[in-house]
Chain A
Amino acid sequence: MNIIETTGLVKDYPLGKTTVHAVRGIDLAIAKGDILSIIGPSGSGKTTLLNLIGCIDTPTAGRVKIGDTDVTALDDRRVTDLRLHRIGFIFQTFNLIPVLTALENVEFPMLLMKHHSRAEIRRRAQQLLEDVGLAEYVQHRPAELSGGQRQRVAIARALVTDPDIVLADEPTANLDSVTGASILDAMREMNAKQQTTFIFSTHDANVLKYAKNIVKIKDGLIAREA
């Protein structure tokens, strides 16, 4: 069963007087529980494709379906809700909220959901931080954590809402190889346990070892699927 389907996906950006054709018609179907790696050179359209799949950007043409929902037909409020409830994000630069502690950063998406008790939220956030090996750092702010620790917090934050899909844009790009590997192990474990679909964009050949499927992008088009 496909959790994500894209049909004729196109994304153009105006850049000064020219237009950048970042994605030029991508049809893609991703099965639930997959670990898909999107690879390709810089400027090939990986991040743009990830943004479109993650519903944080709107396509110039084409459709994105998450489960049975055609995302391109939804208004901003519903798309935001869909992101909150079904998609988790892990950013290359971690993107934690600097004024919140590690624990609060993880709690944050669940608080936005507004249908869990504070105790439940705290319990789940603490559990996830324990799972990623940060039980002792819950009260630390991002500035007080290393890069690897920050990325673990970001993973915990991405998983706290129990999403169907986790999108990770170059998740190991800012990490050393050992830390990167441990992060990827953690993700694979989550995938095995909860059937969470992981989609990475990466340059890193080590990351590919963890992928069940790989899509290569070149010049905004799928060059090869494996």
Chain B
Amino acid sequence: MRQIFEISLRNLTRQKRRNILLGAAIACGAAALIMANAYAHGISKVLFERIVRYVNGHVAVSYMRNGNMMNQVFPDAERIEHALAQAGPEVVRSEEAVGVFGRAIGKGVADNIIMVGVDADGDLTDQERRELQSNFTMLEGSFLALNDRSMGIPVLLAQQKAKYLNVGVGDQLRVRFYQVTNQASSATLTVVGIFKPANVFMTSPIFLTTADLRLLAGYRSRDIAGIQVTLRDPQRTAQRVADRLHDALAPGLAVLPASLSLRGRQAPATALGFRSDSASLALVRPRLPLAAGDSTALSYRGAVIAGRLAERLRARPGDTVDLTWPAKHDGATGRKRLVVRGIAAPGAPIADDALLLNERDFYDAYYGTFPAPPAPATARQLPDTGNPLWPALAPEYVLMRRAATTDEYTEVTREMTRASYKGIMVSVQSMYETASAIVQLERALNLITLSAVMVLFFIILVGVVNTLRMTIRERTREIGTVRAIGMQQGDVRAMFILETAMLALIASAAGAVAALLAMAGLSAIPIDAGDNPLGMLLVDGHLYFAPTALAIVGYLALIVAISAATAYFPARRAANLTAAAALRHYE
């Protein structure tokens, strides 16, 4: 084989001009393929790393309540932080993503805005700091002025937004917005910097520190906003981390350990919620016999209480009871006034101190003042999965199933919205799933490129076939000689295929080098895209190519394989010649 390899390699030097021309054509095709792929991958990388990542993080934990995706608040930061601690060593950092829609009033002009929180003084790595700075090329003022509390509430604007609102550094901006509690609110911000946006998506938001925005948006100290997780090697790890985080966030039963009082009498109670959709109600009704009250008791806001608890409080349907419970944080006490709608009959599958609340009442209370966890004795009496009411009992929150693609994510969100859960819906998604459309876009671009370049290659390969036929014709007597000496047909075939494959390999490797040089050259040319949305595909005003070693090696292998396959048939014809016929051949 070594001998065949050496002969093939040396034969390449026999028809230098012909092989150089053919090699140049293959090199051009390879370069075009590699550059187009690198550009498509660059677009995808720009969209992911510079846009989707800032909107979503590599992995995002987000919330939705009552179909409102802007209500990014979860009442127990500890629960989310505990899950994040189990997300794995790939996590570089996780931070809250606070964003609030509103309207800003500048000097005589108003415009819709989204206030976005940034961690201006956070514990950033050098790379993160560089990336942050590359997104905020300051034209006036300073990025770090965001931390200057002496200026009221500092804010940064993109130059386009500042121009439209007619404000400059030092001017004030009035903003109106809704807090996460749906309370209308307003604030006055001070413009401390104007930046040149790195991409079109940076022109609309105005940037405050996350801490300032949390206060404005009405987050309580133990509330937590949506989470963006930054990962090491996200392309490989994002889905794995998202899966792990999803597992760690599996919800348990929502329990409100409380005290119930009526006319001066007080008794410990454990409040549970039940789902109020018709399927859940149909499940609960026959399994929860009532000693008092009627079958409509469960449909209304209010409580159904256990028979023993009703006895201790001497409660009857229609009585108003007060539910109080200690909050998990801040030493606060939660309170809820409820109307007793029904009293469970003996034998009902609930504990003696239980009261069941329709989920609307239950979640208002539960999320309103997040309760301390139940005492161990209470926890032991809680219903488990064997309880006939279990499927209808309210969980801590609803964990949305993981979606693999943008479309599936949209479908899951739609399903959950249709199901009209009253609890918070928690979603865990990696950016490659949420924005899989970008991956599809990259694939489509690659496919289009590949198809176009394959046409080019088809033409080149016609050249390969012709060259090989010419070569074989010229070397027919040589083929006869080696066959006469004792070279097998397979070795003759291998010799010609190897020769073509080596030409293709050398040429496409040269093409790859040329492509890398061309990409370096093209990406050094500054481009002013102005307001053209296609400017988002530029990085700092330059074309962005993202060649990958895997893609280059893959394309080289493809080109070599196609060339070798093309060479197969002429090579087989050469190998099938009888030695005598080949030796008789004259040009």
Contact = CB atoms under 8 A, between A and B. Distances in A.
Interface of A: 51, 54, 56-58, 76-77, 80-81, 83-85, 89, 91, 93, 95-100, 108-109, 111-113, 157, 161
Contacts of B485: 83-84, 89, 108-109, 112, 157
B478 A97 contact: yes
Contact of A76 (B10, B478, B489): B489
B14 A56 contact: no
A84 B486 contact: yes
A109 B489 contact: no
A51 B580 contact: yes
B3 A54 contact: no
B579 interface: yes
A181 to B, nearest CB: 25
12 contacts: A56-B483, A56-B579, A56-B583, A80-B488, A84-B486, A89-B481, A95-B477, A95-B480, A98-B14, A99-B10, A108-B3, A113-B486
Contacts of A57: 578-581
Contacts of B480: 56, 95
Given A51-B583, A77-B489, A83-B484, 20 more contacts: A54-B484, A56-B484, A80-B483, A80-B486, A83-B486, A84-B486, A89-B481, A89-B484, A95-B477, A95-B480, A95-B481, A96-B481, A97-B7, A97-B478, A99-B11, A99-B13, A109-B485, A109-B486, A112-B485, A113-B486
Contact of A85 (B11, B481, B486): B486
B482 interface: yes
Contacts of B483: 56, 80
Contacts, number: 72
Given A95-B477, A97-B7, A81 B583 contact: no
B125 to A, nearest CB: 56
B323 to A, nearest CB: 91
Nearest to A56: B579
Contacts of A161: 486
Nearest to B12: A99
A161 B480 CA distance: 18
B444 interface: no
Given A51-B580, A97-B481, A80 B487 contact: yes
Contacts of B482: 97, 108
Interface of B: 3, 7, 10-11, 13-14, 477-478, 480-489, 491, 578-581, 583
Contacts of A96: 481
A81 B580 contact: no
User: Which residue of A93, A96, A99, A109 has the most chain B CB atoms within 10 A of its CB atom?
Assistant: A99
A19 to B, nearest CB: 16
A38 B10 CA distance: 37
User: Which residue of A54, A77, A108 has the most chain B CB atoms within 10 A of its CB atom?
Assistant: A108
Nearest to B3: A111
B258 to A, nearest CB: 88
A113 B3 CA distance: 12
Contacts of A80: 483, 486-489
A172 B41 CA distance: 67
Nearest to B11: A99
Contact of B486 (A58, A95, A98, A112): A112
Contacts of B488: 77, 80, 112
A210 B579 CA distance: 28
A100 B7 contact: yes
A100 B3 CA distance: 10
A145 to B, nearest CB: 16
User: Which residue of B3, B13, B491, B580 has the most chain A CB atoms within 10 A of its CB atom?
Assistant: B580
User: Which residue of B484, B487, B579, B581 has the most chain A CB atoms within 10 A of its CB atom?
Assistant: B484
Contacts of B3: 108, 111-112
A121 to B, nearest CB: 10
A64 B67 CA distance: 92
Contact of A99 (B14, B487, B578): B14
B482 to A, nearest CB: 7
B146 to A, nearest CB: 72
Q: Which 6 A-B pairs have the closest CB atoms?
A: A84-B486, A57-B580, A99-B10, A56-B579, A95-B481, A51-B580
A98 B580 CA distance: 20
A112 B487 contact: yes
Contacts of A113: 486
A203 B583 CA distance: 20
A91 to B, nearest CB: 7
B293 to A, nearest CB: 95
A14 to B, nearest CB: 12
A51 B487 CA distance: 16
B484 A99 contact: no
B487 to A, nearest CB: 6
A113 to B, nearest CB: 8
A100 B11 CA distance: 10
A54 B11 CA distance: 28
A182 to B, nearest CB: 23
Contacts of A51: 579-580, 583
A149 B3 CA distance: 23
A198 to B, nearest CB: 17
A96 B14 CA distance: 15
A54 B491 CA distance: 20
A108 B2 CA distance: 11
Contacts of A89: 481, 484-485
Contacts of B477: 93, 95
Contacts of A76: 489
Contact of A58 (B14, B481, B484, B578): B578
Contacts of A93: 477
Contacts of A81: 486
B15 to A, nearest CB: 12
A77 B480 CA distance: 15
B456 to A, nearest CB: 31
Contacts of B7: 97, 99-100
Nearest to A158: B485
A146 to B, nearest CB: 19
A108 B491 CA distance: 13
A108 B481 CA distance: 12
Contacts of B13: 99
Contacts of B580: 51, 56-57
User: Which residue of B13, B481, B483, B581 has the most chain A CB atoms within 10 A of its CB atom?
Assistant: B481
A112 B486 CA distance: 7
User: Which residue of A54, A57, A77 has the most chain B CB atoms within 10 A of its CB atom?
Assistant: A57
A114 to B, nearest CB: 9
Contacts of A84: 485-486
A222 B277 CA distance: 108
B486 to A, nearest CB: 3
A10 to B, nearest CB: 15
Nearest to B489: A76
Nearest to A99: B10
Contact of A91 (B481, B578, B581): B481
Contacts of A85: 486
A54 B484 CA distance: 8
User: Which residue of A51, A80, A96 has the most chain B CB atoms within 10 A of its CB atom?
Assistant: A80
A172 to B, nearest CB: 18
Contacts of B581: 57
A56 B13 CA distance: 29
A100 B583 contact: no
User: Which residue of B11, B14, B487, B491 has the most chain A CB atoms within 10 A of its CB atom?
Assistant: B487
